[in-house]
Amino acid sequence: MLQPGTKAPDFELPDQDGVTHTLGEYRGSKVVLYFYSKDNTQGCTKQACGFAELMPQIRERGAVVLGVSKDSVASHKRFEERYGLPFTLLSDPELTAIKAYEAWGEKKLYGKVSMGVIRTTYLIDEQGTIVAAHGKVKAATNPQDTLEELDRIAEAGRA
């Protein structure tokens, strides 16, 4: 996992509408960049809906949310529409950003080892530097934990 203080790798990925995004276009805003396994699965849906519920508070803190998985643009569009997700979902089927952010690796499920996306969340500051990194996050609590992390970072900046 990339460590706080590291310059966040740039990327160029399409969103659920096919519009290409880069990290650079978010300079001046805090970015919650989270990596998840698959659209419309139980844990990933819980995580995405948690971020959706907290979007007003996240926006108040000057942050945007970007979710990244290897699902297709069309899959992301269905996911967005089904749950009314008010944030950008980025499609990374080639695993370029997923690997650049070290969110790809061995996973164990019921004793079976496979390669896949490791649920990971990064907070990136307005200058494009990683200020917090969390790997193997819990889907249900990650959105609230992220909001609290945004508050801790803001508090530390005022101290």
Catalytic residue numbers? 44
CB 8 within 8 A of CB 33: yes
How far, CA to CA in Å, does 146 sit from each of 14, 94, 95? 24, 27, 24
How far, CA to CA in Å, does 156 sit from each of 29, 65, 73, 149? 17, 21, 38, 10
